[in-house]
Amino acid sequence: MTVSLQGVRVLDLTRVLAGPYCSMILGDLGADVIKVEAPGGSDETRKWGPPFQAGVSAYYLCANRNKKSITVNLKSQEGKAIIEKLAAKSDVILHNFKTGTMERLGLDYTALKTINPRLVYCAITGFGETGPYKHLPGYDFIIQAMSGFMSITGNEASGPQKMGVAITDILTGLYACIGIQAALLERTQSGQGQKIDLSLYDSAVSALINIGSNYLMSGHIPERLGNHHANIAPYQTFRSKDGEMVIAIGNDQQFASLCEMIHRPELANEARFRSNPDRVANRTELTAILQQAFSQQPTSVWQDTCRQSNIPFGPIQTLKDLEEDPQLKSRDMFVSAEHPKAGRVKMIGSPLKLSRTSTKVKRHPPDPGEHTDEILQALGYEQSVIDELRKTNTI
């Protein structure tokens, strides 16, 4: 079976999450990804933990499969020459150094496009390469705070809350994949590469979607609604007899079905609940009525009843629940690979299900420099030269 990005080489100079997540997706799709780190390994996530498995960080494992690894000292002339040779043979280069770093190293887009005019060059920074914040470092937590995410997450009692994962890194990694593939597709027409200037800040703000649109239209600064929805009701969590669950009513017909299910059909015709705007305006009263009904039965009963009535429902599951979920098992959403140090490691699989060019795990997340000799030999370096480069800490 062929793979979607077969023949595409990605030179990945990123670390931590946004960039490695992007390059892992490209690797899952079949691209030949070469991960570049400083000698000894410079991706900070290798040391982020616990948990570790035989000294290998779970955090590092989550975003680095399907890559080869080379270590290179970018500050040395010999190291720079290696990157230039790799760039000449690559389709994509990806980095997340602070603005100006690649220029100081002589590895910026202007320099590398003279070596390879077809190169797609993706720069991921905290705030972008233009504007008054361009030199500030970017961290997901900071971006969540500045982007408005935290101002709308949580409730009045909790205060601003961050998401449970580094969501701005994930969003930026996904945008990077989109931009890179768009540039590769355009290259088939123009024959030219181009630069992508991508920031965590821009990516986070773009994901405000309806909340951002609500503000731009009304001028009203949104409040923190916890597990309520700003525009729809009831669309929230409820406590059952033995746990918590989510009900997500998207239209009036679903609300009528919900009222029938809890044996309160008259609610659907009450003026205060008849339409979605009415229900949003009277959310507090409606929530109290529904909560009283849902507290009478356990979650499993409501799950069966809601699904029989075509009412959108979801139990609030833990990670242990997910691992045992038959739906996720059938979709191969948990995969494993043999690692030379950690043994068999479990990973979350790819959500991309392509009918002809499916994703697959072909390489474990590599140790630092695991493929250095192999990669340099393919560039024409003799083993004696490689050994000398290693002695001088170039690789």
The residues that are catalytic are 169
**CB–CB of 193/135 below 8 Å?**
no
d(CA 57, CA 388): 31
Q: Which secondary structure element, helix H or strand E, spans residue 35, and what is its range?
A: strand 32-37
d(CA 297, CA 242): 8
Side chain identity at residue 271, one-letter code: A
Strands 32-37 and 9-13, by their bridges, are parallel
d(CA 313, CA 300): 11
Q: What DSSP character marks residue 334?
A: E
- Per-residue tokens: 6: 């077969």
d(CA 224, CA 94): 36
d(CA 179, CA 195): 10
As a residue count, the chain comes to: 395
Sign of CA dihedral 318, 321, 325, 329: positive
Q: 166: closest CA among 193, 128, 126?
A: 126
d(CA 40, CA 287): 56
**CB–CB of 269/255 below 8 Å?**
no
- Per-residue tokens: 279: 């229900």
Residue 377 contacts by C-beta under 8 Å, 6 or more apart in sequence? 383, 386
**CB–CB of 245/303 below 8 Å?**
yes
Q: Is 78 helix (H, G, I), strand (E, B) or coil?
A: helix
Strand-pairing partners, residue 343, are: 339
Q: Which secondary structure element, helix H or strand E, spans residue 209, and what is its range?
A: helix 209-218
Q: What is the 3-state secondary structure (H, E, C) of 254-268?
A: HHHHHHHHCCCHHHH
- Find the radius of gyration of the CA atoms of the chain: 25
